[in-house]
Structure 1
Amino acid sequence: MRIVLASQSPSRLSILRSAGVEPLIHPAHVDEDALLADAPADPAATVALLATAKAEAVAAEYPGDVVIGADSMLLLNGRLQGKPHTVDATIARWGEQAGQSAELLTGHCVIGPEGRREVATSTTVVHFAAASPADIRAYAESGEPLECAGAFTLEALGGWFIDRIEGDPSSVIGLSLPLLRGALYDFGYSVSQFWNR
């Protein structure tokens, strides 16, 4: 039995590898814009919907394995924000969030053998530094935050600009190990049986 990660996120892969798991990578291709157009009003339900779509997109190909889908978005001033994609959008985002606090929501869908599933959303409060305009521009131009929910990372250059978090650090990076552990336990598995040996 393997863990299958329905994502091409290097951060999610790094979390699992650091935790002793070498997952099979099978990125899910879903129409996120279409899903967001019909998404529920509740932000936590929205990220859970995206995570579920990703897990379901690949689960049928791995009926005997554990498939993980995840999606993260930043809830800032009542609005969900995904990846900025461009330098200019990243700078604009940081113009809003520098010196502020926001919630990073990470939806998870874990599908196990026989179609068993766990769906949950982890919420972590992120306190952003009052970064200087020069540092914001340099960070955006580094390319690092362009494909990251909330236009930041915790574990790399972005760590300079996060004052503190309240909640699960692994969830901020992209995948909650506590939520994943709980799902595996509910399915009747031990975490250690997935470790590289």
Structure 2
Amino acid sequence: MRLASRLAPVQLILASASPARLKTLRSAGIEPRVVVSHVDEPAVTAEAQQQFGRLEPVDVPLLLARAKCEAVAAQIGDADALVLGCDSVLEIDGAVHGKPTDPQDAIERWARMRGRSGTLHTGHWLIDARADGTGATFGVVGSTLVQFADIDDDEIRDYVSTGEPLYVAGAFTVDGLGGPYITGIQGDYHNVVGLSLPVLREMLAEVGVPWRTIRAASGLG
């Protein structure tokens, strides 16, 4: 049997305030350092649209993930770590939906979503800021098809009244109070939560970082 070679642990910085993303990493044995970017997402999107024209649905989360990642990388200086930024949007009928603006927006959105399916796109952007690293900066989008239950008006109002839909892309969760209203997904479950572990593993491999070295940085190698 070949044993895994010993490699120096690598610290991961998560450029996101999302509790779900942090929980996903922790469940996989990774304890990242969290640094919130405070990026003005509508301003970043508006500027890109002004410069490049209409953005494709898959472009939006990647654009925002990059903005978050670059903002945090600029903050940390010589932290000698990898920086990961993420952002998610829901695409239905070619339109992009992030977080609802208010409860009424969430109610109207669920009235359009129920009984239908949409694609949850999560952008991942990685910057190798290690002192002896590659200096790479690149992104990958993961996409997962989500099927919504045909819930009635009372169920919609009840769900929105919990407040949860106002704080998540697409106005739903699959791992929280919205779980009963999701009848199926095609693709990576974690991508719907907000961070695809398989995508992250492949991105780390691109910069020569085996998954076990990220776990080792958390004391779980």
Could you tell me whether the CA contact under 8 Å between 1:85 and 1:147 is conserved in 2?
no
Aligned residue in 1 for 2:137: 117
What is the aligned counterpart of 1:30 among 39, 43, 62?
Answer: 39
- Where do 5+ consecutive residues of structure 1 fail to align? none
Partner deviation per Cα, 1:59-79 (whole Å, 9 max, x = no partner)? 131541011101101111111
Aligned residue in 1 for 2:6: none
**In the TM superposition, what is the alpha-carbon distance from 1:2 to its structure 2 partner?**
1.1
**In the TM superposition, what is the alpha-carbon distance from 1:118 to its structure 2 partner?**
2.8
**In the TM superposition, what is the alpha-carbon distance from 1:117 to its structure 2 partner?**
2.2
Aligned residue in 2 for 1:135: 155
Sequence identity percentage = 43
- Where do 5+ consecutive residues of structure 2 fail to align? 1-9
Counting matched residue pairs gives: 197
Could you tell me whether the CA contact under 8 Å between 1:51 and 1:69 is conserved in 2?
yes
Partner deviation per Cα, 1:18-52 (whole Å, 9 max, x = no partner)? 01111111011212112211245221122111110
Q: Give SS of 1:43's match.
A: coil
Cα distance in structure 1, aligned partners of 2:98 and 2:114: 16
Q: Partner letter of residue 18 of structure 2?
A: S
1:15 aligns with 2:21: no
After TM superposition, list the pairs within 5 Å mapping 1:93-108 onto structure 2: 93-108=109-124
Could you tell me whether the CA contact under 8 Å between 2:60 and 2:89 is conserved in 1?
no
Deviates more, 1:49-58 or 1:77-86: 77-86
Tell me the TM-score normalised to structure 2 length: 0.85
**In the TM superposition, what is the alpha-carbon distance from 1:84 to its structure 2 partner?**
0.7
Aligned residue in 2 for 1:45: 59
What is the aligned counterpart of 1:179 among 188, 194, 199?
Answer: 199
Q: Give SS of 1:157's match.
A: coil
Give the structure with higher Rg (CA): 2
Aligned residue in 2 for 1:82: 98
Cα distance in structure 2, aligned partners of 1:184 and 1:119: 11
Cα distance in structure 2, aligned partners of 1:30 and 1:156: 25
Could you tell me whether the CA contact under 8 Å between 2:90 and 2:98 is conserved in 1?
yes
